[in-house]
A and B are shown apart, each in its own frame.
Chain A
């Protein structure tokens, strides 16, 4: 049973437009959420994170939104650039108790930014 779901396996966006990647989770114990970007043959690169006490976190072109009641988070990339083309993973872990520092990942969304 998938605890973290990224329902869109792929997404294509024009350069300069907004990319929105979505993620849903089922376990209410999760309270720290991260987005990673991954190129082939490389490890995931940390992009941005958010803890459950916030509903928004920004870092340059990247913004993560968290809707705890809906158990949903999204990553917005504005403006999208061709170099953003990669697989994006949503990941999460509980900040305390069993499973802390143990990331549960979604299956990923492949973003293609078209020049």
Chain B
């Protein structure tokens, strides 16, 4: 079974630009979450989607948004990029069932210059 696939793996953008990251979950997984990893803050929750609806949202500004499609694939968007948005962005998927672990992709490394 294929794992969680994230594209692209690396991205370099300039301050003020916007970026879209893509995630394909494990087949059969309908819950998709996004996390940001930085050296200072560690791994932080961005948002979680199920059946095309955002169920949970972390404490990030409105510049961070996401969506989920009917095939469970998800995208996240960051507008008006800031230098502090440089991070590893991780997508995770899980079965929508109690005590289901989240399985992560290898992430997209975003560098904002």
Residues of A within 8 A of B (CB): 32, 34, 36, 41-46, 49, 51, 89, 91, 95-96, 98-108
Taking a contact as CB atoms under 8 Å apart, the answer to whether B99 and A51 are in contact is yes
Q: Which 3 residue pairs spanning A and B have beta carbons closest together? A: A43-B104, A105-B43, A46-B101
Taking a contact as CB atoms under 8 Å apart, the answer to whether B45 and A95 are in contact is no
Residues of B within 8 A of A (CB): 4, 6, 31, 33, 35, 42-45, 48, 50, 55-56, 58, 90, 92, 94, 96, 98-99, 101-107, 109
- Listed by A's residue number, 11 A-B pairs whose Cβ atoms lie within 8 Å are A41-B106, A43-B4, A43-B105, A43-B106, A44-B43, A98-B56, A101-B48, A102-B58, A103-B92, A106-B42, A107-B42
Q: Given A46-B104, A49-B99, A105-B44, list of 14 further CB < 8 A pairs?
A: A32-B99, A34-B102, A36-B104, A41-B106, A44-B90, A46-B101, A98-B56, A100-B56, A101-B56, A101-B96, A102-B45, A102-B56, A103-B33, A104-B45
List chain B residues, Cβ under 8 A from A51. 99
Taking a contact as CB atoms under 8 Å apart, the answer to whether A95 and B104 are in contact is no
A42 to B3, CA, bound (A): 13
A99 to B6, CA, bound (A): 24
Taking a contact as CB atoms under 8 Å apart, the answer to whether B33 and A102 are in contact is yes
Taking a contact as CB atoms under 8 Å apart, the answer to whether A108 and B42 are in contact is yes
